[in-house]
């Protein structure tokens, strides 16, 4: 078995029309996050955890943060490709655990909705991925409501041969 971890942080966007996307689903409260792709901070952290567990590099080097192909791209592309590459290297996902760190919006009520979306995006059995949320009690950049961070851990196991 192999474990990997990922972390990502995005600042909120000034664009009031930009949706907040977490785990591939839109959280209606917003505000949206700034970034080259859809700025899905949860999927970015999870992608890095998957790539890390399989020792296949990281989000920036695999996909290129200024590659025009990924401008406004849904981050499901990244996590799907990370899963595919891990699979090609002989690994499959056992489970993953994600913690979203946000002062705003309050995400506790959306946790299950986000997790459901995430399972659809990954094409894995419900219960494979856990989504948790916390705040920083008003401390620091997250506490001042300037953006959202996410931490993720993923466990992979060898696909049995044959
Ligand atoms: Zn990111």
Q: What is the pLDDT of residues 4-26, one digit of tens each?
A: 999 999 999 999 999 999 999 99
State the Cα–Cα distance between residues 4 and 126, nearest whole angstrom: 20
Helix (H) or strand (E) holding 120: helix 111-122
pLDDT for res 25: 93
pLDDT for res 162: 66
110-159 pLDDT, tens digit per residue, is 999 999 999 999 999 999 999 999 999 999 999 999 999 999 999 999 99
HEC readout, 1-23: CEEEEEEEEEEECCCCCCCEEEC
Ligand 1 center to 34 CA (angstroms): 9
State the Cα–Cα distance between residues 71 and 95, nearest whole angstrom: 29
Ligand 1 center to 149 CA (angstroms): 9
Ligand 1 center to 74 CA (angstroms): 11
Q: pTM (2 decimals)?
A: 0.95
43-91 pLDDT, tens digit per residue, is 999 999 999 999 999 998 888 877 787 777 799 999 999 999 999 999 9
CB 76 within 8 A of CB 117: no
Ligand 1 center to 38 CA (angstroms): 9
Ligand 1 center to 90 CA (angstroms): 26
């Amino acid at each position: 078995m192999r474990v990997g971890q990922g972390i990502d942080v995005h600042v909120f966007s000034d664009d009031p029309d930009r949706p907040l996307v977490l785990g591939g689903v839109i959280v209606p409260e917003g505000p949206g996050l700034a970034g080259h792709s859809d700025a899905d901070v949860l999927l970015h952290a999870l992608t890095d955890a998957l790539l890390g567990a399989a020792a296949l590099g990281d989000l920036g080097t695999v996909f290129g943060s200024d590659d025009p192909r990924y401008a406004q791209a849904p981050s499901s592309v990244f996590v799907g490709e990370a899963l595919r590459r891990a699979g090609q290297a002989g690994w499959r996902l056992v489970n993953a655990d994600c913690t979203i760190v946000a002062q705003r919006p309050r995400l506790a009520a959306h946790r299950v909705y986000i997790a459901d979306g995430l399972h659809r995006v990954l094409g894995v059995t419900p219960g494979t991925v856990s989504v948790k949320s916390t705040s920083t009690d008003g401390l620091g950049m997250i506490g001042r409501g300037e953006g959202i961070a996410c931490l993720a851990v993923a466990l992979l196991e060898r696909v049995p041969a044959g």
